[in-house]
Amino acid sequence: MRYDAVIIGGGHNGLTCACYLAAAGLKVRVCERRHIVGGSAITEEFHPGFRNSVASYTVSLLQPAIIRDLRLAAHGLQIIERSYANFLPLPDGQAFRLGPDAATTQSELARFSTRDAQRLPAYYRVIENVAEVLRESVLKTPPNMGGGVGDLVRAMSLGLRLRKLGTSARRDLLDLFTKSAGELLDDWFESEPLKAAFGFDSVVGNFASPYTPGSAYVLMHHAFGEVNGKRGTWGHARGGMGAITQAMAAEARVRGVEISTESAVAGIRVRGGRATAVVLDSGEEIEARTLAANVNPRSLYLDLLEPGVIDEEIRGRMRRYRCGSASFRMNVALAELPDFSCAPGKTAQPHHSAGIIMAPSLGYMDRAHADARALGWSREPIVEMLIPSVIDDSLAPPGMHVASLFCQHFNPQLPLGRSWMAEREQAADLIVDTVSRYAPNFKASVIARQVLSPLELETIFGLPNGDIMHGALGLDQIFSARPLLGHADYRTPVRGLYLCGSGAHPGGGVTGAPGYNAAREILRDLRRKPVS
């Protein structure tokens, strides 16, 4: 059977792309190599009675238009807002709470610095002004440098949007795209806990110090989202992140999309310079007018396309495409809630449903990065813990809990011939001990744990070097340069072959935007009108 479109990879962007293509009347098939669709956004039982978001673990960047168009709420998606954005237990026995609103944060901050409390509203205004620019660009195709008339029009449209900002706001934008997060935050504030709370976003999925130039943009990348209409907030998908992708899959099936699991794509057939089919591991060949790859660009160009299909110059650049977020994920089953020394109590309190950051200063984060580069992983890792079962009792047995531990910095390439297979449990022990320094009951409360080092993130989820962003978010790999100059419009050098994953604009996170944008460009090339 010949399809109008075959999607390689059933992650959230692949499902999004499939839904929009099917709505326009195309016959679409999704080929997913695992037993379940969802990519990194899945929910699974990791210990009897305990379920959790396995890899991706929190939601904010998923585009409201996609939630609406794909009727995700009608398919059961419910997103619950955090009571506090972040909770930081501190080494001196104090704690810092960020949220739930600006006024509360300002009052909390005044305990640490009156000056910072006064400056906070102005900082929020700067971030929101630049975040609005990002929001406007997320569901748009970037212009290709040196492209045709369409690219010129897109570039002019971008220029007009920037012109509306005013000179001061354009300077802020330049700062946030080029400076380090540490430099930016040190200029604004003096309070270490506040700078740590904001600076954490600059190292999420980013193997860098908060003082690495360009890390301010990574901070901004995590600031343009919203939950239930509230901008800049984060939340929990009831039932875990799999609730998002299962809702997408349900809508895809309603629209007639054929979804095949355990259907790994081994290669792409190219004839006369045009992609014509995918070849599965089983040897089955599936023909299609159009192919869209929801995989890392490095995997697409180097693994799925045979040498000689594209220029060696492009293959060389893809070999140098920067992947490796230095992320380490754990899911733990808990007999009881963490009892923090700075906020005692084993019964659920607002801070238990926050993003709990164990990294008290930018200096701490800088040292963690230096350790990982020199030693392989940080002696004092950066740990964020979420306990979704506090607000979602479907994930654990009564009275018990599950926690997500998202940790930096763990070098995907260990030095001196060492391997993650040999060191993963030792690293996991260190992470548990790190949490236990702030919540002494934590280690004894762990019933079971699921450990995902950079190696497991690569082998299970197809993320080269465990890169959760599908490529570093540096100036050389964002917007018109993502994944490389000349091919930022979701089209590849091979006719009929498109990139619809997070290796395309706007980058990593559960946004759905690359899938949405790629579908629009595919339909444009097929001269079909996009339909929600």
For residues 111-126, b (16+ Cβ closer than 10 Å) or e, as one string?
ebbeebbebbeebbeb
State the helix-helix crossing angle for 12-23 and 513-525, rounded to 10 degrees. 40
Given this model, what pLDDT does residue 241 score?
98
Separation between Cα atoms, residue 431 and residue 429, nearest integer Å: 5
Given this model, what pLDDT does residue 161 score?
72
Is the pTM for the entire model greater than 0.75?
yes
Rg (CA), the chain: 22
Given this model, what pLDDT does residue 165 score?
77
Given this model, what pLDDT does residue 164 score?
73
Which tokens is 273 given? 């310079």
Q: Note every long-range contact of 258-262, with CB atoms under 8 Å and residues 24 or more positions apart, other chains counting.
A: 258/3, 258/28, 258/29, 258/30, 259/10, 259/29, 259/30, 259/32, 259/37, 260/29, 260/30, 260/31, 260/32, 261/10, 261/32, 261/34, 261/35, 261/36, 261/37, 262/32, 262/33, 262/34, 262/35
Are the C-beta atoms of 112 and 187 separated by less than 8 Å? Answer: no
Alpha helices for 347-445 (secondary structure H): 362-375, 420-438, 442-445
Given this model, what pLDDT does residue 146 score?
67
Instruction: Tell me the one-letter amino acid at 171.
Output: R
Separation between Cα atoms, residue 15 and residue 258, nearest integer Å: 11
Are the C-beta atoms of 402 and 50 separated by less than 8 Å? Answer: yes
Sort strands 328-334 and 401-410 into parallel, antiparallel or unpaired.
Answer: antiparallel
Beta bridge partners of 96: 88
Sort strands 355-358 and 43-47 into parallel, antiparallel or unpaired.
Answer: unpaired
pLDDT < 50: residue spans in the chain: none
Separation between Cα atoms, residue 18 and residue 28, nearest integer Å: 6
